[in-house]
Amino acid sequence: MGAQLRVYKRRIKSISATKKITKAMEMIAASRVVRAQRQVAASTPYASELTRAVGAVATGSTTQHPLTTEAENPTRAALLLITSDRGLAGGYSANVIKAAEQATKALTAQGKEVDTYIVGRKGVAYYGFREFKVTESWTGFTDNPTYADAKKIAGPLIEAVQKDTAEGGVDELHIVYTEFVSMLTQTPVEHRLLPLSMEKTAEETAAKDVIAPLYEFEPSAEEVLDALLPRYVESRIYNALLQAAASKHAATRRAMKSATDNAEELIKSLTRLANAARQADITQEISEIVGGASALADASAGSD
């Protein structure tokens, strides 16, 4: 076997092995997307009921609450960035980080200091490498987030919002994550979570059922709101985590699919080259034999 041919064969073998891996990863990601989507769907009833309840308090009372009142002159904002722990997902992490940087820039332009909170090793690594300040970060659960994880994240954030700005608290809470639109489309989005704009929630409720009923609050509107709002933030963060997980798996699936396709393409062209090299080897061998034979024939003819 010719040296050239051997090199081609070796490359084809190594690419086939890589292709097997990417194909497997693609299929795993595809099944995980389905599971993540199911989780998003399962968490929806809770989130929508909670939104309805918050809307009910908003319309049914004139309660002022630290989590809902806008600071007159907001100077600090917290930004929660949700990335993933693992790569191999195409532009997934890069896109959401870019969105977070844009949001940070916009907030800074409005004269607000930004505290960054990060979920996922990718975001932590990015901010760590650039030595950007990170207030708090969480890693290790982005592939399969649970409600307890969302609670863990929401705790310090709510605390920061409730604290006075002068003592290191924040006036606003923004969240940047990747919204799962469909298997093919995932878009990074930025939302303001707090202060909750009561008008908006009330409008959403009003749009659905024309007359919002007058609720009786047990024990009181303030206490209901006290208990309701943290849960609301938690469920929003939980929803964002789930969507980010679904998006990440979808992005992985797509990235691995194109990797598999590329490997196939490479194998095809390398096989062609290997075939040509084999043909060239054979042709050379034949011409060598023919040349050798005719040289022998010439020699024996000359000796006669």
Partner 1 sequence: MAAELHVEMVAADRSVWSGKATLVIARTTSGDIGVMPGHQPLLGVLESGPVTIRTSEGGTVVAAVHGGFISFSDDKLSVLAEIAELSDEIDVKRAERALERAKAEADAAAERRADVRLRAVAGAH
Query: 273 and 8 in contact (C-beta within 8 Å)?
Result: yes
**255 in helix, strand or coil?**
helix
Contacting positions for partner 1 (CB under 8 A): 39, 42-43, 45-46, 49-50, 52-53, 56-57, 60, 146-147, 151, 213-219, 223-224, 227-228, 231, 234-235, 238
Nearer to partner 1, 176 or 237 (CB): 237
Nearer to partner 1, 164 or 216 (CB): 216
**Nearest Cα residue to 25 out of 258, 228, 181:** 258
Nearer to partner 1, 50 or 118 (CB): 50
CB of 177 to partner 1, least distance (A): 18
Nearer to partner 1, 111 or 213 (CB): 213
CB of 157 to partner 1, least distance (A): 17
Nearer to partner 1, 35 or 98 (CB): 35
CA distance 176 to 40: 17
CB of 64 to partner 1, least distance (A): 18
In the chain, the amino acid numbered 116 is T
CB of 52 to partner 1, least distance (A): 7
Nearer to partner 1, 56 or 198 (CB): 56
CA distance 94 to 123: 9
CB of 55 to partner 1, least distance (A): 11
Query: 255 and 90 in contact (C-beta within 8 Å)?
Result: yes
**133 in helix, strand or coil?**
coil
Joined together, the tokens standing for residue 262 give 């590329």
Query: 125 and 46 in contact (C-beta within 8 Å)?
Result: no
CA distance 165 to 66: 12
Q: Are strands 76-82 and 172-180 parallel, antiparallel or unpaired?
A: parallel
CB of 56 to partner 1, least distance (A): 6
How does 20-59 read in b/e, with b if 16+ C-beta sit within 10 Å?
A: eebbebbeebbebbeebbebbeebeeebeebbebbbbbbb
CB of 263 to partner 1, least distance (A): 38
Nearer to partner 1, 163 or 215 (CB): 215
CA angle, 72 then 73 then 77, to 5°: 115
